[in-house]
């Protein structure tokens, strides 16, 4: 009896994942209407996000073949007006692991389904603060950064350069307003001041007359070092650089952008991830692809370390000190135990290079500098995650 226990223990230690496992993962997307933009230069790739999950499938499969673990990826795209909850129920009937690309309220409605109570859901898309604070859910992890994580990263950079006088132009979409709100909050968190704020509500075609329109539009912004732009749908901001009244750099949605990922990220082995992705998708990897990849890789990492497919055990492992995800951003990525947010450095990029990687030197935190970005435990207000 004792001998058998000893042998079992030996087997466990030699082969952490000794059981054959099949891990099905569902990628569920709610298609939402895309507002029209002035330029069509950067259309949304059809398989945005899905390609990221597909790459993680390939990565996990390669690891899994050595451990007797098989991964599967099912993809469902729910059309506008379709029944998302129904699609979610169908997904949950086959697997407890679901990666979600949907607006915040849609996420909450499916996270609250009785069928989802034991599931592990990953929000890859919605950057909303409320999902990480009052409206957090115990079954909902977040692998994309929140808006505050991105805007905190930008403010750290501006402060470190001592470009403390800011002006802001924002669009009229809900995403623009939320980003502007996050910029304002982060500015105040790091002691910067946003002075003049203007709303971009023009409907002229800026491809013809940006040079005439923008200098006038930016003439009355007053003294500032940097012009912030909140244009998260990619409408007008691209016409602002070099067309401002004062010669000022722009940042936010254009110019210097704080992002989860971009094609210009190349340090820390990122070039390998980029080239694997390009081979698979024939396009550069975008933030949503990265978040979907990170979600599926987090599942794979937890499964390969624990040798289980039990969602509760995997959740516990992912929130433990033992979990770490190599995310090609120079340090291990881990989950915040208070709201399920994936901690991650935020690249500050422009069109052709990464200018800096936040957290920047000098922004200290007793736990990890990564927690200088976004909602820290005391301010999160999330009580339902733990």
Partner 1 sequence: MIRTTLALLVLSAPAAFADEMWITNERDDTISVIDTQTLEVTRTIPTGARPRGIIFSHDHKVVYICASDSDTVQVMDPDTGEVLHELPSGEDPEQFALHPDNRHLYIANEDDAISTVVDVETRTVVAQISVGIEPEGMAVSPDGKIAITTSETTNMAHWIDTETQKIFANTLVDSRPRHAEFTSDGAELWVSSEIGGTVTVFDGATQTEKAKITFDLPNIHPDRIQPVGFEFTPDDAIAFVALGPANHVAVVNMASYEVEEYILVGRRVWHMAFNRDHSQLFTTNGISGDVTVIDVASRKPVKSIKVGRFPWGAAFRPTN
Least separation in angstroms between CB 352 and partner 1: 17
Least separation in angstroms between CB 17 and partner 1: 8
Nearer to partner 1, 35 or 362 (CB): 362
Q: Tell me how many helices (H) and strands (E) the chain has.
A: 11, 14
Least separation in angstroms between CB 371 and partner 1: 11
Least separation in angstroms between CB 67 and partner 1: 7
Least separation in angstroms between CB 148 and partner 1: 21
Nearer to partner 1, 16 or 82 (CB): 16
Residues 331 and 328: their CA atoms lie apart, in Å, by: 8
Nearer to partner 1, 153 or 229 (CB): 153
Nearer to partner 1, 184 or 372 (CB): 372
Nearer to partner 1, 258 or 300 (CB): 300
Nearer to partner 1, 31 or 58 (CB): 58
Shortest CA distance to 359 belongs to which of 349, 341, 347?
Answer: 347
Residues 323 and 314: their CA atoms lie apart, in Å, by: 10
41-49 long-range contacts (CB < 8 A, ≥24 apart) are 41/238, 42/234, 45/281, 45/283, 45/286, 47/281, 48/286, 48/288, 48/289, 49/101, 49/124, 49/125, 49/288, 49/289, 49/291, 49/292
Cα separation values, 366 from 26, 95, 133, 325, 363, Å:
37, 38, 21, 21, 10
Nearer to partner 1, 172 or 272 (CB): 272
CA dihedral 228, 231, 235, 240 (to 10 degrees): 0
Q: Please report, as ranges, the residues that interact with partner 1 according to CB under 8 A.
A: 13-14, 16, 59, 62-63, 66-67, 269, 272, 275-276, 301, 304-305, 324-326, 330-332, 368-370
Which residues in the chain belong to E strands, given as ranges?
Answer: 21-30, 69-78, 97-101, 120-123, 140-142, 165-170, 193-199, 226-230, 250-252, 257-258, 325-326, 332-333, 346-349, 354-358
Strands 346-349 and 354-358 turn out to be: antiparallel
What is the helix (H) or strand (E) element at residue 184, kind and residue range?
A: helix 174-189
Residues 93 and 298: their CA atoms lie apart, in Å, by: 22
Nearer to partner 1, 140 or 294 (CB): 294
Least separation in angstroms between CB 305 and partner 1: 7
Least separation in angstroms between CB 326 and partner 1: 4
Least separation in angstroms between CB 92 and partner 1: 29
Name every residue whose Cβ is closer than 8 Å to that of residue 72 and which is 6 or more positions away in sequence.
Answer: 22, 23, 24, 25, 57
For residue 288, the SS3 value is helix
Nearer to partner 1, 198 or 276 (CB): 276
Least separation in angstroms between CB 284 and partner 1: 16
Least separation in angstroms between CB 235 and partner 1: 37
Nearer to partner 1, 72 or 331 (CB): 331
**DSSP code string of 292-307:** HHHHHHHHHHHHHHH-
């Amino acid at each position: 009896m004792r001998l058998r226990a000893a042998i079992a223990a030996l087997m466990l230690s030699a082969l952490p994942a000794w059981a054959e496992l099949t891990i099905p993962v569902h990628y569920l997307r709610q298609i939402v209407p895309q507002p029209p933009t002035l330029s069509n230069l950067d259309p949304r790739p059809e398989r945005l996000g899905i390609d990221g999950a597909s790459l993680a499938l390939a990565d996990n499969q390669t690891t899994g073949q050595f451990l007797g673990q098989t991964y599967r990826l099912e993809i469902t795209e729910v059309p506008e007006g379709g029944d998302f909850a129904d699609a979610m129920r169908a997904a949950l009937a086959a697997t407890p692991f679901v990666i979600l690309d949907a607006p915040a309220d849609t996420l909450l409605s499916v996270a609250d389904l009785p069928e989802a109570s034991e599931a592990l859901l990953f929000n890859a898309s919605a950057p909303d603060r409320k999902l990480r604070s009052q409206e957090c859910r115990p079954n909902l992890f977040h692998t994309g950064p929140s808006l505050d994580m991105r805007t905190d990263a930008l403010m750290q950079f501006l402060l470190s350069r001592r470009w403390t006088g800011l002006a802001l132009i924002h669009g009229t979409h809900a995403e623009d307003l939320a980003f502007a709100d996050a910029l304002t909050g982060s500015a105040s968190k790091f002691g910067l001041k946003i002075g003049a704020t203007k709303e971009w509500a023009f409907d002229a075609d800026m491809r013809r007359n940006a040079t005439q329109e923008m200098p006038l539009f930016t003439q009355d912004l007053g003294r500032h070092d940097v012009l912030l732009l909140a244009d998260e749908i990619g409408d007008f901001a691209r016409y602002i650089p070099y067309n401002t009244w004062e010669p000022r750099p722009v940042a936010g949605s254009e110019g210097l952008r704080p992002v989860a990922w971009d094609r210009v990220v190349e340090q820390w082995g990122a070039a390998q991830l980029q080239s694997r992705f390009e081979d698979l998708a024939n396009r550069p990897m975008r933030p949503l692809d990265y978040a979907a990849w990170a979600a599926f890789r987090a599942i794979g990492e937890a499964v390969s370390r624990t040798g289980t497919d039990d969602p509760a055990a995997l959740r516990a492992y992912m929130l433990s000190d033992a979990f770490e995800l190599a995310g090609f951003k120079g340090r291990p990525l881990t989950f915040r135990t208070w709201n399920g947010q994936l901690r991650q450095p935020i690249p500050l990029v422009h069109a052709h290079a990464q200018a800096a990687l936040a957290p920047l030197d000098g922004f200290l935190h007793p736990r990890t500098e990564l927690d200088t970005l976004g909602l820290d435990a005391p301010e999160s207000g999330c009580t339902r995650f733990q």
